[in-house]
Structure 1
């Protein structure tokens, strides 16, 4: 039995190349000689009648001359193959190669897909019969490459519609709500929105998701019933009955309406991979990204690395800038938390990911929000972060991440009261998010900056309840409890930090300027901790 180490390796993707088991290049010279090998290797059983080979390479020659040319070519091929000359066989009627002794790349079930490489590149035999054969083989190869390459994401098709049930509100308000939910979904998965007004659409136009926002008047009280349905299976991914105070609450940035929009999109995205076909890139990319977010918002070192790997895979499936923006936020967390040894390399990579995310998702409000937060947190760029945050909120008034990035940018710019109001609004929008501790943490930090320690304690405690191993929340609570004279609580938090954070100590918290409590340090709120030393 022939082992892989004894096989001749033949590369046909790109220029023809033959190498022996010792990796020595034994590719035959001459286009006609290479043509003989190509014809045989792509033939059934690697065998052909002599006359068939002659017709493909010397179609304009008389039979006697063509036969003589083939004999000469076979002789040269044997000499070039050297010790492996018996791989090539011939008798009076046929010519063949020994398939058991050849490893041909294009014949493997799994072959490399490299854009820009064609079959038998540069092989110019200059015979019309051979050229016709080669065009046919290249077309077959292109079909195989197309079938082997992962399908490109076409995007979800989302229908948005509304109806009125005895309300005095215009129908366009329901359209606005449905489209805002659709926009929030489309920020995190490639999607297209479609008007749902044409009720007689054919089955082929049904799409993937339908978002309905039905406005109702019940005894003078206005409500909207929002629902997201996976059309092929009729599964309800989200539904909620929401009271409406007035039309202005829909047109503006009302807390309750924005929270419903944000929640509808978030719940839909969480259930989407379970509803649509797993073979679709949209399903795979969304599933990878959602898992990555759950890992990322733990702030654990290994989980952050895993989240980065998952987002890299999501981007390979769907070249969407949102996955790069999340990766830039991961790098920022790793820098601030001092989780990786080479901070300079992290900073450079963060900058690169930041720019690349905007290149691929310049009009995506969530990309703008995340890039804004990275610029503020990692680069201290208040002006750049503020500009992007304002663009994000202007594009998506119901974006919880947008309002958070705007609050952080305002805080860094010194507009503390505005920052506090915006942070409160962001926190309210995201109150149903599985990652709400992220908003709680930043409301705690903004409250510290605004000299509101009791408000900061409430937000810090909420973050710690939602995510008991969330280190940043415990760090701030430790300082805030000490400031408030709650020394027993402060000691309990210090003990918890010692369990969940390797290398933690009160001395490091107070005296290490690099330790990630920048706002507490700048406000002088670490001094009360010295009572615990």
Structure 2
């Protein structure tokens, strides 16, 4: 993100002399700084070059996301009226078109995952490792279109295709326990996608999917999925859909109005590349979030679309545990169907007891059925399992709400603080923290959060939060936690 001054002058003012071109560039930079306002320091200049602050910018084409419209044009409509610039622009546009052509639709065959174990290990250890590797594979196949493949060497298959990812688990006795080593490799390039060494005191911890094991399984799958777009061939639909959906999750879990709209578009693109019901389920949750956050004017239309999307998701992938967990959340809000929500959540968790998403849906199902202690304990476990996730604030925010509903305000504050640390722009977590601080008499902290809310939520006011019945703080209002906020008005 840096070019020499002379390069820019040559491309934008090729017909001017050096002194005039330099003067024009200085004038253009001055106008840019004025237009950028508070963000003027994005421009980084010295006597020889001009650059941009890479850490503060996002460039879609550098995020593995290739435009789906083959007719799209780079910098469409931009005209600098300089022949050198036009030559440069033609070359860049040609490169983009070549990229789009290379990424054209191909056969969707799914990602192949081989789960390999140490054949020399004792029978019980070997089976335990096989269970663990397959749990990681199951978590991956919930998030992308994937097939778990039996180890060709173990079954004597000579013509099986090479897998994309190989997951290996090994156990070594040490003292009264075992050392567990997990490694995931991208087979074609031998790149290590994930590895971890962990002590296991009891083998039953693996067989029973206890929290420490569930955390490792969830973490391994999450990191492997995050790296797949960087190692798989770019012309595979699975590559593009995984990259698009992953980026969509980052946008969705920001809870920002514009980001939610972008997240929906990204999930829609992912589905067009690979008709996986998971992307429809995520889209349904995005619409529900937009409705709950009052991000759009037509609330009824959002609800109607959320329901339609989750029906389609279940039609396509009703046996996907992650789809079931997401649909459980949407169904709870849309219909308040306690029995149906519990059934979906329980099925999701039985299918994948290591999924933090399934645990979260189960905790909310318990909450809906009035089983508060089970709801709190299951939510706390979900937070622990998702501790290393880049979206951990999603679980912390949910645990904050459940803690409030259980009248455990101290735990709610801890969860809300964790959520705001992980996601400084998350509005739901900040709203809860504001009310909780006010309720516990920490008015200075509450005022500080209110000032932060005014920056991250356009039009925010304490008056609206307390007095507007449509403002999205139903749990806080039901628990009487908005009354202390009046002291800040």
- TM category (shorter chain) comes to 0.7 to 0.9
Confirm whether residue 353 of structure 1 aligns to residue 309 of structure 2.
yes
Q: Which moved more, 1:411-420 or 1:363-372?
A: 411-420
What CA distance in whole angstroms lies between the structure 1 residues aligned with 2:397 and 2:119?
40
Confirm whether residue 510 of structure 1 aligns to residue 471 of structure 2.
no
Residue from 139, 143, 153 that aligns with 1:198: 153
Structure 1 residues 246-276: Cα deviation after superposition (integer angstroms, max 9, x where no partner): 1221121311100000001000000001011
**SS, match of residue 143 in structure 2:** coil
Q: CA deviation at 1:354?
A: 1.0
Structure 1 residues 102-151: Cα deviation after superposition (integer angstroms, max 9, x where no partner): xxxxxxxx99xxxxxxxxxxxxxxxxxxxxxxxxxxxxxxxxxxx99822
Residue from 410, 414, 420 that aligns with 1:458: 414
Paired position in structure 2 for 1:160: 115
Structure 1 residues 156-202: Cα deviation after superposition (integer angstroms, max 9, x where no partner): 11100112777784311111000010000001111111122625655
What CA distance in whole angstroms lies between the structure 1 residues aligned with 2:121 and 2:314?
45
Q: CA deviation at 1:380?
A: 2.5
Q: Is the 8 A contact 1:166 1:217 kept in 2?
A: no
Change (3 A) 1:164 1:152: closer
Paired position in structure 2 for 1:475: 431
What CA distance in whole angstroms lies between the structure 2 residues aligned with 1:474 and 1:148?
41
Confirm whether residue 219 of structure 1 aligns to residue 175 of structure 2.
yes
Paired position in structure 2 for 1:372: 328
Q: CA deviation at 1:526?
A: 1.1
What CA distance in whole angstroms lies between the structure 2 residues aligned with 1:204 and 1:393?
32
Q: Which moved more, 1:168-177 or 1:399-408?
A: 168-177
Residue from 288, 293, 296 that aligns with 2:252: 296
Residue from 226, 237, 241 that aligns with 1:270: 226
Please tell me whether Structure 1 or Structure 2 has the larger radius of gyration of its CA atoms.
1
Q: Is the 8 A contact 2:366 2:374 kept in 1?
A: yes
Q: CA deviation at 1:374?
A: 1.1
Q: CA deviation at 1:496?
A: 0.6
Confirm whether residue 181 of structure 1 aligns to residue 136 of structure 2.
yes
What CA distance in whole angstroms lies between the structure 1 residues aligned with 2:446 and 2:229?
42
Paired position in structure 2 for 1:228: 184
Paired position in structure 2 for 1:105: none
**SS, match of residue 199 in structure 2:** strand
Residue from 217, 223, 230 that aligns with 1:261: 217
Structure 1 residues 331-351: Cα deviation after superposition (integer angstroms, max 9, x where no partner): 010000000010011111011
Confirm whether residue 447 of structure 1 aligns to residue 403 of structure 2.
yes
1:422-433 correspondence to structure 2 within 5 Å: 422-433=378-389
Q: Is the 8 A contact 2:375 2:402 kept in 1?
A: yes
Confirm whether residue 242 of structure 1 aligns to residue 170 of structure 2.
no
Paired position in structure 2 for 1:170: 125
TM-score (ref. length: structure 2): 0.77
Change (3 A) 1:264 1:315: same
Confirm whether residue 339 of structure 1 aligns to residue 298 of structure 2.
no
Residue from 148, 151, 172 that aligns with 2:106: 151
Change (3 A) 1:530 1:275: same
**SS, match of residue 170 in structure 1:** helix
Q: Is the 8 A contact 1:165 1:216 kept in 2?
A: no
Q: Is the 8 A contact 2:287 2:302 kept in 1?
A: yes
Paired position in structure 1 for 2:43: none
Q: Is the 8 A contact 1:165 1:217 kept in 2?
A: no
What CA distance in whole angstroms lies between the structure 1 residues aligned with 2:226 and 2:104?
27
Q: Which moved more, 1:380-389 or 1:164-173?
A: 164-173
Aligned-residue CA RMSD (Å): 1.9
Q: Which moved more, 1:352-361 or 1:243-252?
A: 243-252
Q: CA deviation at 1:236?
A: 0.4
Paired position in structure 1 for 2:54: none
Q: CA deviation at 1:446?
A: 0.4
Paired position in structure 2 for 1:488: 444
**SS, match of residue 212 in structure 2:** helix
Q: CA deviation at 1:448?
A: 0.3
1:400-419 correspondence to structure 2 within 5 Å: 400-419=356-375
Q: CA deviation at 1:152?
A: 2.9
Q: Is the 8 A contact 1:167 1:215 kept in 2?
A: no
What CA distance in whole angstroms lies between the structure 2 residues aligned with 1:191 and 1:408?
28
Unaligned runs of 5+ in 2: 1-69, 72-101
Count residues with an aligned counterpart: 389
**SS, match of residue 187 in structure 1:** helix
Q: Is the 8 A contact 1:372 1:389 kept in 2?
A: yes
What CA distance in whole angstroms lies between the structure 2 residues aligned with 1:305 and 1:493?
26
Change (3 A) 1:148 1:249: closer
Unaligned runs of 5+ in 1: 1-109, 112-146
Q: Is the 8 A contact 1:354 1:371 kept in 2?
A: yes
What CA distance in whole angstroms lies between the structure 2 residues aligned with 1:463 and 1:203?
49
What CA distance in whole angstroms lies between the structure 1 residues aligned with 2:369 and 2:107?
42
